[in-house]
Amino acid sequence: MKKQTAMNRDWIATARTLSEALPYLQRYTGAIVVIKFGGHAMGDDAEMESFARDVVLMRQVGVNPVIVHGGGPMINEMLARLGVQSHFVNGKRVTDAATVEVVEMVLSGRVNKRIVQAINDQGGRAVGLSGKDAGLMTCVQTNPDLGFVGTPTEVNPAVLRQLFEAGMIPVVAPLGAGGKGETFNVNGDTAAGAIAAALKADRLLLLTDVAGVKDAGGEVVTELTPDHIRTLTEQGVIAGGMIPKTETALSAIEGGVRAVVILDGRAPNACLLELFTDHGAGSLIRTPRT
């Protein structure tokens, strides 16, 4: 009897959660949400499955998700396996002609199709592509010293909108084309930010291996403005690997994205918590509401 009572409580709690999600489900119907998927979750089968299920649920309730992924560890693994030597300038890998071939093979092949398959296994309809497809992302060379590393200069999201209309979930590898047909490797966060801005997305979710942006006391700040971000950066509170993520957030907001969230992709159902509950997850960045 006690066991039955406990189970009934669980069922009631689940039903209450679904009921409380209704305003958020209504709020995000038809919304575009760009998700940068990377970090630890990409290399864990169980977490990949959980992420894929969450993405399919989003699409099922009317959200238009776009997944932009990274793949650094997989690239490093393949370069080592193939014996391709890497060179570094100021701590950054030089992407020469041999390296960019491996980068494209890993990102557009192994990594992209693994995510596509995971989503399809959960009942979704995912389509893999890269920024080179249908003129999605045009780039210029970021720094000649770094080789084939690109910065997006133009994003044409028409193909993504067509996939939305067909009920598909786009999964984008962060590669772009140069003016002469070159292939450029693009930082995953940067690519996600540029795509989100071109789509005027409602949300850009940057999944990381940390809980969010932290203050001087080490506590996660749940909501910030661009000015707050700049102040924390000037004070040295935002430092290291968080700087490029917050810079991506600021650029995306300036480009027309309504809000950016930096959140821990290792947390169970992080995207659903952020979108469909009162609690949210991570650090939300947006301009002050008027």
Residue positions forming the annotated binding site for substrate: 71-72, 93, 185
Which position among 39, 128, 193, 282 bears the catalytic label? 39
If we measure between CA atoms, which residue out of 273, 272, 284 comes closest to residue 60? 272
Structure tokens given for 91: 């701590």
Which position among 72, 109, 135, 178 bears the catalytic label? 72
- Whether 245 is catalytic is yes
Which position among 189, 193, 264, 282 bears the catalytic label? 189
- Whether 2 is catalytic is no
- Whether 189 is catalytic is yes
- Whether 3 is catalytic is no
- Whether 72 is catalytic is yes
Which residue positions form the known binding site? 71-72, 93, 185
Which position among 245, 264, 265, 282 bears the catalytic label? 245
The catalytic residue positions are 36, 39, 72, 189, 245
